[in-house]
Every structure is written in structure tokens, then in C-alpha cells.
Amino acid sequence: MATVAERAVGAIVGAAVADAAAQPLHWIYNLKKLDSIIASEEAPEFHQPSANPYYRIDTGRNSCYGDQAYVVLESLAECQGLDIADLKQRTYRMFGPGTDYDNTRNSEYKPHGGVKKSYPINGSWRHFSIKDFLKKTEAGKDDTGSKEDDQVDGATKVAPLVALYAGQPCMLEKVEDALRVTQNSDTAVAAGLTTARILEQYILYGKKDRVIETVMEEMRKPNRKNPTDLDQAMVSFLQKVLDNRGGQHRKVVTTVFSNN
């Protein structure tokens, strides 16, 4: 992909395909069980039938992560840029009452509650930040983002935003504004902005060396754009990734990082 436009499209499509490919094996935390499921397969992508222990939807469909990115993409396309009011409305229509995400057993789930006998549900799984967003929207609050949810939703939906605004001075500002619609958590936003910085490098310049190092150097600058109090924690985390990039994936994930 030789042009910025082609790489921007590739980032959006690649993220959507990757989410759909992983969805049937999503959230299998028991590694022995996961190994037994994929033991006879050369490639685990688009596994059929779904072995997801929490929810079951058709293979090829996106998870709540991918659907959040889709809503961002749709809003950007229809509004020719970021329109927070429109993004809020579209997010509510995608995940709110009467949708495939409206499920009583899912609604009763508490974070880290584990797999219950009533799982998996037949339908899409509504994430905690989305539940908080819906409650706040229905209460008429302007601040609709969850202050408690620090999960990876923000990082997974930045591709459309970076694709549109890469190279523009407002890129990080637009990303942060969009992320805080559903996650008004500094941890989630800092992780999302770090992801956006990395993705922007690849969209603008294609395959290049030292992308992570370049982003770390930028995030150390006192005059960096959209600074957060957690930027240096993000830099330390990226350094830990670099320090372990030659390790075996399973071992690094289970011993260096949280197995999640």
C-alpha cells in the first residue's frame, strides 16, 4: 500500500477483519481449554462453531469492539468529520433498547463476574462502558463516558479517527473527544491516545523501523500534544513490550503481562 489513503483504508478494514476473525474465540481465559479447541487447526481465525464462553453470534460478525469502531466510522463518514452529538446518537441506536445488544442476562453481568451457568447468551455482548453510556444518556447527562471502565474499548476503535485525521494537528484532540463519549477514564484515554500515535506513524509512513521508540520519544516531550498524567506510565509499558519482544508469546503474556 503505497499511499497514505490506501494505508488509512487498510487500517480500518484490517481492524474490522481482525476483530471478526477473533470473535469466536473471544474471552477464553482457560488456556488449556483454548488449546484443546484449536489443537487440530492450522489457523484459529474465524473458528466455527463459536466457542466463546460468554456470548454466541455468527462467525464473521464483529464483536462489541468492532461495532463501536463501525459506529465511529459511520458517524465520521456521514458528518464529514467528528460530530460528538451525532456519535452519541448513533452509539445509542446501535447498542440501546431493542437491539441485538439488549439482553437481560448480559445486563446483570458484573465486571470480573466470571462465566455463569446461564452463559453463553445467544446474541451480542454489551460491554461495561456501553452500559454506563446508555444509563447516562437515558438520564440526560452531557458527560456520557464511563469513569470506571479502563478496558481496551478505546484503543480498539481509534482506526477510523486516525485514518481521517492522521498528520493533522487536531488528530489526538479528535481521538480523545471521541473516546470520552463512552470512556471518560484517564487510563482508557491514555491507552487510546498511545494507540493512535502508533497507528498514525504507520498510516503516514508505512512500514518503518523504530515506530514504538519514536512514539515514546514524542510522549516524553513536555510540549507534546494532548498530554495526560499517565503518559509516562504508557511509555514504561511500551518499554516493557520492547524488552520482551524476542520472547515466546505465551510465556511473555502469562509471566510478564496480565493473562487477559
User: Measured between alpha carbons, how far is 92 from 166 in angstroms, rounded to an integer?
Assistant: 27
User: Measured between alpha carbons, how far is 189 from 145 in angstroms, rounded to an integer?
Assistant: 11
Reduced DSSP (H G I as helix, E B as strand, rest coil) percent helix, strand, coil of the chain, to 5: 55, 0, 45
What are residue 55's DSSP bridge partners? 121
DSSP code string of 107-161 = HT--TT----TTPSEESPPPPHHHHHHHHHHHTT-S--SBSS--STHHHHT-HHH
Residue where the block lists cell 476503535: 157
Residue 170 in grid coordinates: 487536531
What's the number of CA atoms in the CB half-sphere (13 Å) around residue 17? 7
Q: Is there a binding annotation on residue 75?
A: no
Between CA 164 and CA 17, with CA 24 as vertex, the angle to 5 degrees is: 25
- Please give the annotated binding residues for Mg(2+), written as ranges: 63
- Please give the annotated binding residues, written as ranges: 63
